[in-house]
Copies of this chain bind each other. A is one copy, B any other.
């Protein structure tokens, strides 16, 4: 290695010059894929293309070879300088790569590995279009693909308020009631509340981590993560032992967006990481919802920003389920009845013109309503039958239970 302060070598000098014999596991395509999940970061699309073009085993062979990169070996779309830099990058993790040890570690915890093509591989990952993980490391009793089929990511700020946590939990409960899975990132705040809500309701929940599934991050969520692993699913694309790093969180967010039928942000500051999950979901053309909050709350600023960017306003689990099911928002439910509902324009005009206190003649009511006098009496009789008008010696007035002058005006 060059000491700090020495002149910097360029990418072109960073050739893998070790040329080792491949270990036994490198002959197994599944184990080779697991090795790649250790050798490269989730964001490394050069690694993804390199492995996709050659197969995991052959890609490992090339990595172990001391031959300089030639233009001839580049596949369509590959560039020699990217390949050269990639081989140098991946080689830096060669020594610590041991997929058999990783697999043991996860299996000891009751976990497993799910690869593309396995029945548990979530369909949504195909949306990543070349950015799919090499492998998913999974703990928990649920069937991963089935759990993702009808699911919503419920994500948001770590610095959530009681409002946000309560809502996250109640959305998770409502999703569970409808048999849908709550996906989240196990972070403090909204994420944790969503998982907890689901667990409390015995509803399915899935935590996607930015670190290995054998680790608890944040540490204070150790018990929560254990519970999710026991009753739901804990998933990661980085191998056991991996620590959480900023870009792993961003990459984790793309997994959340891809496996969930819809993504909902419950609370988010102006620059919350959960906005990245929402943005990635939008990129994947997955429905994105945002829960509004007081405009005076910094914890809702990100949600309002999302709403301005085209997210759908969701206020409860039913509206989140509409996103999950791809149903158009139903804006006309929960309408309470009013005495004058169902009246036609003529009846409404007469009803409006009825005096509330002192009765008036039908003729006078016609003038007030701007109607022809002969048209009014039959309408008054009709309103009377509906219990909306009452007749006295002085004429007609609004029936007490139909009264509410000004109460529904503006």
Contacts and interface: CB of A to CB of B under 8 A. Distances in A.
Contacts of A410: 158, 185, 187, 191, 210, 249, 253, 272-274
A6 B374 CA distance: 10
Contacts of A386: none
Nearest to A39: B370
Question: How many copies of this kind of chain does the complex include?
Answer: 2
Contacts of A301: 315
A194 to B, nearest CB: 13
B334 A270 contact: yes
Given A247-B349, A353-B245, A295 B167 contact: yes
A94 to B, nearest CB: 10
A148 interface: no
Interface residues of A, number: 95
Interface stretch (A55-63, A103-111, A375-383): A375-383
Contacts of A316: 295
Given A246-B409, A304-B315, 8 more contacts: A41-B370, A89-B371, A91-B372, A163-B296, A253-B410, A270-B334, A292-B307, A293-B294
A229 to B, nearest CB: 19
Given A11-B375, A295-B292, A409-B273, A308 B304 contact: no
A243 B355 CA distance: 12
14 contacts: A1-B362, A6-B377, A11-B375, A13-B374, A14-B373, A14-B375, A92-B370, A210-B410, A243-B368, A244-B409, A274-B410, A292-B293, A293-B293, A295-B316
- Which 3 A/B pairs are nearest by Cβ-Cβ distance? A292-B292, A88-B372, A8-B378
Residue of A291, A315, A336, A409 contacting most chain B CB atoms (<10 Å): A409
Contacts of A292: 292-295, 300, 303-304, 307, 313
A85 interface: yes
B295 A294 contact: no
B96 A367 contact: yes
A72 interface: no
Interface string A277-301: 0000000000000011111100011
A215 interface: no
B315 A348 contact: no
Contacts of A11: 372, 375
A285 to B, nearest CB: 19
Contacts of A273: 408-410
B1 A377 contact: yes
A30 interface: no
Contacts of A14: 372-375
Contacts of A331: 305, 308-309
Between A90, A191, A331, the greatest number of chain B beta carbons within 10 A of the residue's beta carbon is seen for A331
A368 B39 CA distance: 10
A266 B41 CA distance: 47
A153 to B, nearest CB: 12
